[in-house]
Chain A
């Protein structure tokens, strides 16, 4: 019963771990990677929702229309997201690289210029 929901709980677990990583991090690059971990949890949730037991890939090149397939929509949502979020993380990393160049550090504690 409850085992059927394990993938959802795994997604929630990874989400919280990613957030923990960001909160306790001492390195901006590490924070960006933890953000990718949080992102992964959303994909796990999406894909688990779309899964159909006994279903195969929703590509009808060699199977007749009408065979049981898993939900194609969540895959469509996810696949564009993966590629696009990679570039968004590149944007964040570029900010970190530039900040390091200008301030000499990537420790958020030392970079706390924005206080108050």
Chain B
């Protein structure tokens, strides 16, 4: 189909869809008038039943933990997929080998030196971010935060190191087997925690660890444990993605540096 026909077809359909959305959304309760039972009930009971003050994470890692298990594995599958698609192929290595002899033409970023402010500032930020990320990941059951958010913050740390110009350090961080270990253990860990509940005679993903006192860092049972597992997995996943995407660039820059 030519691009004109395609656009025309879409515009006609969009008019129809807009009408459909209009008719349908008109019957939604007005914004601000939330009536449904789920939110009201869970806000009342979550603190007492699970000794967790952050109800959102109580839902994520306890009431609806099965959903989060699935979502975590979607992340895992996507990372595996990227690794699969970017896997080294013999044809590509051959082409690379030929290129090794040639020198890459000088690029703009090679010429501009990175200022000391950025370099020092970024390294300082990296340290701060690690602490902050761990804090967010570990306190999921008490304050807004949890594994997903903390994991993303932690995963930005190598990126900050890269931006400070220290490619060697970046390469060392992202190539350690610890990253892969973190990712796979985080993923398997969630499922194993769920399965361990079966051995105690309860259903899958029941909260079997003692609940502790509300407000304590080590409260709410498996919510905290699952949150940490998810944090590990998200960190590992995003760092692996970064490594795979930047591999060629890192190799070239390391070569040019040496």
On whether A and B touch (CB less than 8 Å), the answer reads: yes
Q: How many A residues, CB 8 Å from partner? A: 55
Once bound together, how far apart are the Cα atoms of A10 and B149, in whole Å?
Answer: 27
* Residues from chain A with Cβ under 8 Å of B238 in the complex: 87
Once bound together, how far apart are the Cα atoms of A34 and B226, in whole Å?
Answer: 33
A-B contact pairs, 7 of them (CB 8 A): A4-B33, A5-B31, A8-B28, A13-B18, A69-B39, A70-B34, A80-B148
Most buried by A among B71, B142, B151, B234: B71
CB of B64 within 8 A of CB of A91, answer no
B214: nearest residue on chain A (CB-CB)?
A60
* Residues from chain A with Cβ under 8 Å of B3 in the complex: 24, 109
* Residues from chain B with Cβ under 8 Å of A66 in the complex: 44
CB of B59 within 8 A of CB of A72, answer yes
A24-B10, A53-B33 known; 8 new pairs, CB 8 Å cut-off, are: A4-B31, A12-B18, A49-B31, A49-B34, A72-B42, A74-B39, A76-B56, A98-B85
Interface size class of B (residues with CB under 8 A): 35 or more
Interface of B toward A, CB cutoff 8 Å: 3, 6-7, 10-11, 14, 17-18, 21-22, 25-26, 28, 30-34, 36, 38-39, 42-44, 46-48, 53-57, 59-60, 64, 67-68, 71-72, 74-75, 78-79, 81-82, 85-86, 142-144, 148-149, 151-152, 215, 234, 237-238, 241, 244-245
Q: Is A29's beta carbon under 8 Å from chain B?
A: no
